[in-house]
């Protein structure tokens, strides 16, 4: 997989649940997401059903070379403020470190700002997740604050960064014309 391989964002659906469950059992994914309970297929399916019916959630599968390699979620969408929380992970271990997440961030920002009409995307990331922080920074996210001792990592507290991306920070296709 290289930068030339197209990445597609598609609606997250029931057929994605087995891969999602497998990824939640991967210690690297579970640790970085801060999972608090044992994942199960029933919980995964219930979350997918909830997300499908909730207008404050946009759940997308990341596909690369027709393979589901990760997910990107915009939730806590506030239409009054025009904000949404972003979560992204590359679950497929063989697809990590290939800048798929970083490339996907540009697509999801365009979707959030152009299609959803949001003004701002925000996220939290634990301070030790250097790969994710680098990807967010490269996509234009800025650190807006430090949430002290907000995250549990390997049984120890660590800081989490609050990061945000404003619509005006991104050159969208309609602005480039």
Query: Per-residue pLDDT tens for 83-124?
Result: 999 999 999 999 998 889 989 999 999 999 999 999 999 999
Structure tokens at 38: 């044992």
Residue 1's pLDDT is 45
Of the candidates 128, 136, 159, 45, the residue with the CA atom closest to the CA atom of residue 87: 136
Q: What is the pTM of this model?
A: 0.90
Look up tokens 């469950």; give the residue: 21
Query: Per-residue pLDDT tens for 37-83?
Result: 999 999 999 999 999 999 999 999 999 999 999 999 999 999 999 99
DSSP per residue, 7-46: EEEEE--GGGHHHHHHHHTSHHHHHHHT--S---HHHHHH
Residue 109's pLDDT is 96
Q: According to CATH, what is the number of the domain 7-176?
A: 3.40.630.30
131: three-class secondary structure by DSSP = helix
């Amino acid at each position: 997989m290289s930068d030339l391989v197209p990445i597609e964002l598609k609606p997250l659906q029931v057929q994605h649940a087995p891969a999602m469950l497998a990824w939640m059992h991967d210690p690297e994914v579970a640790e970085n997401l801060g999972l608090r309970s044992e994942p199960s297929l029933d919980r995964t399916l219930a979350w997918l059903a909830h997300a499908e019916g909730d207008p404050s959630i946009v759940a997308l599968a990341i596909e690369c070379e027709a393979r589901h390699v990760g997910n990107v979620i915009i939730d806590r969408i506030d239409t009054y403020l025009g904000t949404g929380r972003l979560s992204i992970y590359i679950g497929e271990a063989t697809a990590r470190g290939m800048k798929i997440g970083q490339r996907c961030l540009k697509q999801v920002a365009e979707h959030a700002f152009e299609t959803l009409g949001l003004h701002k995307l925000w996220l939290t990331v634990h301070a030790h997740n250097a790969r994710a922080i680098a990807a967010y920074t490269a996509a234009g996210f800025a650190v807006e604050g430090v949430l002290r001792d907000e995250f549990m990592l390997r049984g120890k507290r660590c800081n989490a960064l609050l990061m945000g991306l404003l619509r005006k920070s991104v050159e969208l296709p309609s602005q480039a014309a």
